[in-house]
A and B are shown apart, each in its own frame.
Chain A
Amino acid sequence: MAETAVAPKTGHARVRKSKKMGKGYIPPDPWTVRAALSHGDIFTRLSVVIWGLGNLVRKQFFKGICFLAAEVASIVWIILGAAPALKELPGLGTGKVIKVKDADGFWQTKVPTPSVVILLYGVSSVVLIVLIIWFWSVAIRSAYKAQMLEQSEGHAPTFKEDCSDLLSGRAWLTLMTLPTLGIFIFTVLPLVFMISMAFTSYDAEHPSKFDWVGLKNFGTLFSTKGTTVNLPMFMDVLVWTLVWAFFATFLNFFLGMFLAMVIERPTTKLKSFWRGLFSMSIAVPQFVSLLVMNQMLQQDGAINRLLKNWGWISQPLPFFTDVTWARTTVIIINLWVGIPFTIMQITGILENIPAELYEAAKLDGANWWQRFMNVTMPYIIFVLTPYLITTFTGNVNNFNVIYLLSGGAPTPVGASAGKTDLLITWLYKLTVDKNNYNMGAVIGIFTFIVLAVVSLITYRSSGSYKNEEAFR
């Protein structure tokens, strides 16, 4: 039902209806570049060279002039902006300081453009050129569409009709343009830029002039000889990341569930007081509580002092100086951070479990444990599986807890990764602190692979992805 109401009200409704319409099925665009080239008239075909010509001929003056202006701007930009940037991209600049005689006859030293700037301009140019080519196809298709609509309806859509179409049939175009642009510039472009760094020698030793090195950095990651990054180090961090994500996710889940059930016991009084008590820690910004914890757990921090005053210990406990202690500490502190969220989630679900299920189980003589295993657990797991997956990937990427709490400590002398560093904090340290951008990018790519493998398997088999419209 919704389909018919939403489908753009254009002259091609006939074409659409002739196809078999499933739920959510969108027929392919009838105005393709290929059709424009084979069926278009002379003006449509000329639009390939002169953008907007087809529109101008069909009295779509505003549209035509916009396309023409876009073409002029693109050509000027490609010649003046993109061409020089692309020319330097393969060599990433000369890196040589040259002396130039200025107008007054003095020698001026000219500092070469840093390779990273050349790389950025080059990558942005490539991305923009792809966009221009796409826009070119838009111009051709628009000309063809104008031609066809003129034939079938007597006139091509006027400027006014186009505008009202942008609010009705193609409202998605109006609404999506700015958000997509934002995602493009601040998510896609940085990622492409960063990934391209993985194939260069951009590190602390080559801060201004670096070169393309192909897959060498990936080789370094898998060799045993690398100094800042090598295979044993990478495996160490990778295994710890997975162990951490496992414990951080499932310990939080089970202990949080246990606490939620204790609070939800029928005879527990002051339920909202207990829940409020535990959720107070959510209200405090995470970085504040983590920094406070970090301070408290230092060698001469509050906790060690307290325990010493009580006479329980003589030496300060090595919270962040011993590997096992540090790893246990971050997992336990993460329980402090994470359990309140789990309690909130599970409380809501516990309240929704149909009481009949419990009563039926009781009539069948099930004891508490059997009721828990056969009613409560399956229900919670069923509802919370997507949440558990996102929590797991969130924990692989849990930057704050590690960076602010332990800072990766303890770090062996000379190593670039500490013993509690995750892939993500290691990446951050390599890039922001140590300027080893190339290795940071390589590790970022591997983090992506780890996450993609975990989430693709689970997301795609989850019901909410497959049957998005199941309940409609």
Chain B
Amino acid sequence: MSSATVSSKASTKTSAAQSSQVPEKNVYGRRLAGDIASYALLTILGIIWIVPIVWVFMESFNKNPQPYQTSFFPKEFSLDNYVKLFTDTSSLDFPHMYMNTLIIAIFTCVISVFFVLAVAYCMSRLRFRMRRTFMNIVLILGMFPAIMAVVAIYFILKAVGLTSSNTTIIALILVYSAGSGAGFYVMKGYMDTIPFSLDEAARLDGCNNWQVFTKIIIPIARPMIVYQAIVSFLGPWLDFVLAKAIATSADGYTVSLGLWSMLQKEYIHTYYARFAAGAVLVSIPIAVLFMIMQRFYQESMSGATKG
């Protein structure tokens, strides 16, 4: 949809250029020079942007798992790295980490979506005394560096007894989802674009605030909910800092921690190529979700109700 608007806009611009008073030949020559320059620039930069990604992909099939080899791209290819990643689980259990992250991500996603929806609805639609205070407090809390709380969160979880190896998953779910209500701004902005007349009509029909929330707002906000769900789902896959501070034993590792430890001194010589394989396996679902998210985000940015 967006590309269609681009081309239509582009064509109007082109026709505008043609109809202007500048001599045709000059315009054509300058445009050709501009085209060549811009294609050259885009190609060079495109290669720079794509090389590290291609490198990870090629390295994941490298037959020689050693780091620091003589050539930039691998010379021989095999599937060994992927096979070993899933079979050799003695020191770094990648499938287990993958499952951990998946479980954490699913729970975080459900809880955060509910929290964000609830807070955003209250901030956008309901008027109560603590509303402005709440928004200001969240704004101020957001200015404290999140890293500062990491150590304190670890001590709190330790005092509650959630830091042993088998409860790390619960601890991480709590940490990722508990504060998510503070991230209501985007959702609130979206809800603000839903016309108030819809609420009023529903209220005239006898809906209370709760019913307006579940029957009017949630269905209309669906594109934004998908966006929010994907963002919260991706959080645990992408986070590194909190996981590193809280997951103290390898049992509770998430993929990001696992991949990070593969590049540490004690593992790098056997795990270098497997790191690339793991990175590819993590990137594929993230890339897919990211593209879906992108579409829903653009859709929701064009407004809640059309026409």
Min C-beta distance of B119 to chain A, whole Å: 5
The chain B residue with its CB closest to the CB of A192 is B152
B170 proximal to A (CB < 8 A) = no
Inter-chain CA distance A397–B34, complex, in Å, is: 39
CA distance A344 to B293 in the complex (A): 13
Collect the chain A residues with CB atoms within 8 Å of residue B7's CB: 271
Contact check, B182 vs A448: say whether CB atoms are below 8 A apart.
no
Q: A300 on the interface (CB 8 Å rule)?
A: yes
How distant is B176 from chain A, measured CB to nearest CB, in Å? Answer: 9
Asked if B72 and A424 sit within 8 Å, CB to CB, the answer is no
B interface footprint on A434-447 (CB within 8 Å = 1, 0 otherwise): 00010011001001
In the bound assembly, the distance between CA atoms of A183 and B118 in angstroms comes to: 13
Binds A, one of B75-83, B84-92, B219-227, B236-244: B236-244
Stretch at the interface among A36-44, A103-111, A212-220, A425-433: A425-433
The answer to whether A397 touches B146 (Cβ under 8 A) is: yes
Contact call B127/A24, Cβ cutoff below 8 A:
yes
A282 within 8 A of B: yes
Contacts of A427 in B (CB 8 A): 145, 147-148
Interface residues of B in 98-145 (CB under 8 A from A): 115, 118-119, 121-122, 125-129, 131, 134, 138-141, 143-145
B209 touches A189 (CB 8 A): no
A263 touches B42 (CB 8 A): yes
Interface flag for B168 (CB, 8 Å)? no
Tell yes or no: B166 within 8 A of A by CB: no
Contact B38 A168 (CB under 8 A): no
The answer to whether A287 and B240 touch across the interface, beta carbons within 8 angstroms, is: yes
- Are B178 and A182 in contact (CB-based, < 8 A)? yes
Tell whether A7 is near chain B: CB-to-CB under 8 Å. yes
Interface positions of B from 141 to 176, Cβ below 8 Å from A: 141, 143-153, 155-156, 159, 174-175
Residues 272 to 289 of chain B near chain A (Cβ within 8 Å): 275-276, 279, 282-283, 286-287
How many angstroms between the C-alpha atoms of A306 and B55 in the bound complex? 13
**Stretch of A58-66, A351-359, A411-419 at the chain-chain interface:** A351-359
> Given A175-B118, A393-B143, A448-B143, A5–B72 Cβ distance below 8 Å?
no
Q: Please tell me if the beta carbons of A292 and B55 are within 8 angstroms of each other in the complex.
A: yes
Interface size class of A (residues with CB under 8 A): 35 or more
Q: How far is the CB of B8 from chain A (nearest CB, A)?
A: 10
* Cβ contact within 8 Å between A189 and B41: no
* Chain B residues with CB under 8 A of A266: 10-11, 13-14, 17
CA distance A338 to B176 in the complex (A): 24
Over the window 1-23 of chain B, the binary record of Cβ atoms lying under 8 Å from chain A Cβ atoms (1 yes, 0 no) is 01101110111111011001000
Q: In the complex, are the beta carbons of B149 and A194 less than 8 A apart?
A: yes
Are A268's CB and B35's CB within 8 A? yes
B156/A262 in contact, CB under 8 A? no
| A2 with B263: CB separation less than 8 A | no
Q: Does A129 contact B (CB under 8 A)?
A: no
Q: Which residues on the B side are within 8 Å of A298 (C-beta)?
A: 68
CB pair A432 B245 closer than 8 Å: yes
Given A179-B118, A268-B35, A288-B259, answer yes or no on A190-B153 (Cβ-Cβ < 8 Å): yes
B70 is an interface residue with CB less than 8 A from chain A: yes
| Contact, CB under 8 Å: A302 / B55 | yes
Closest Cβ neighbor of A449 among chain B residues: B143
Q: Is A452 in contact with B208, judged by CB distance below 8 angstroms?
A: no
Residues of B within 8 Å of A, CB-based: how many? 105
Q: State A174–B10 Cα separation when bound (angstroms).
A: 50
Complex CA distance for A338 and B177, rounded to whole angstroms: 26
What is the CA–CA distance of A262 and B42 in the complex, to the nearest angstrom?
Answer: 8
Interface centre among B121, B122, B128, B259 (most CB of A within 10 A): B128
Query: Are A336 and B145 closer than 8 Å at their CB atoms?
Result: no
Contact segment of A72-80, A232-240, A273-281, A319-327 = A273-281
Contacts of A156 in B (CB 8 A): none
B51 (CB) vs chain A CBs: closest residue: A296
Q: Is B179 an interface residue (CB 8 A)?
A: yes
Which residue of the partner chain, among B41, B128, B146, contacts A262 with CB atoms under 8 Å?
A: B41
Q: Chain A nearest CB: distance from B24 CB in Å? A: 15
Q: Which of A180, A291, A301, A428 contacts B147 (CB under 8 A)?
A: A428
A272, B49: Cβ atoms under 8 Å? no
- With A281-B53, A459-B139: A448-B119 Cβ-Cβ less than 8 Å: no
Report if A284-B56 is in contact (Cβ < 8 Å); known contacts: A266-B14, A448-B143: yes
Report chain B residues within 8 Å CB of A183.
138, 141, 178-179, 181-182
Is the C-beta of A285 less than 8 angstroms from some C-beta in chain B? yes
Across the interface, which residues of B come within 8 angstroms of A285, CB to CB?
Answer: 237-238, 256, 279, 282-283, 286
Task: Give chain B interface residues in 224-253, CB to chain A under 8 Å.
Answer: 237-238, 240-241, 244-245
- Do A172 and B126 touch (CB < 8 A)? yes
- CB-based contact B155/A120 at 8 Å: yes
B296 within 8 A of A: no
Q: In this assembly, does B67 line the interface, its C-beta being within 8 Å of a C-beta of chain A?
A: yes
A171 on interface, CB distance cutoff 8 Å: yes
Q: Does A295 lie within 8 Å of B72, measured CB to CB? A: no
Residue in A179, A189, A281, A424 with the greatest tally of chain B CB atoms within 10 Å:
A179
Q: A24-B127, A293-B52 are contacts. A278–B46 as well, Cβ < 8 Å? A: yes
Chain B neighbourhood of A444, CB < 8 A: 144-145, 147-148
What's the minimum C-beta distance from A231 to chain B, rounded to whole angstroms? 21
Smallest Cβ distance from A86 to chain B, in angstroms? 16
Write out the residue numbers on chain B whose beta carbons fall within 8 Å of the beta carbon of A280: 49-50, 53, 287
Q: Are B156 and A7 in contact (CB under 8 A)?
A: no
Q: Report A136-187 residues with CB < 8 Å from chain B CB.
A: 164, 167-172, 174-176, 178-180, 182-183, 185-187
Picked from B10, B151, B210, the residue with its CB within 8 Å of the CB of A167 is: B210
Residues of chain A in range 326-342 having any CB-CB distance to chain B below 8 Å: 336, 340
Contact call A351/B34, Cβ cutoff below 8 A = no
The reply to whether B149 and A191 form a contact with Cβ atoms under 8 Å apart is yes
Which chain B residues border A133 with CB–CB below 8 Å?
none
Inter-subunit contact A267/B175 (CB<8 Å): no
What 0/1 pattern do residues 69 to 112 of A give for CB contact below 8 A with B? Answer: 00000000000000000000000000000000000000000000
- When each residue 278-307 of chain B gets 1 if its CB lies under 8 Å from chain A and 0 otherwise, what string results? 010011001100110010001001000000
- B46–chain A nearest beta-carbon distance, Å: 5
Question: With contacts A291-B263, A305-B69 known, what are 4 further pairs, Cβ within 8 A?
Answer: A2-B127, A302-B55, A336-B48, A428-B241
- Interface CB pairs A-B, < 8 A, 10: A1-B200, A167-B208, A183-B181, A187-B149, A188-B141, A267-B35, A268-B42, A277-B49, A281-B53, A427-B148
Across the A-B interface, the 4 shortest Cβ-Cβ residue pairs: A179-B181, A168-B208, A182-B178, A190-B152
Interface set of A (CB-CB < 8 Å, partner B): 1-3, 5-7, 24, 26, 28-29, 116-117, 120-121, 164, 167-172, 174-176, 178-180, 182-183, 185-191, 193-194, 197, 259, 262-268, 271-272, 274, 277-289, 291-296, 298, 300-302, 305-306, 309, 336, 340, 344, 348, 351, 355, 358-359, 362, 393, 397, 399-400, 403-404, 423-424, 427-428, 431-432, 437, 440-441, 444, 447-448, 451-452, 455, 459, 472
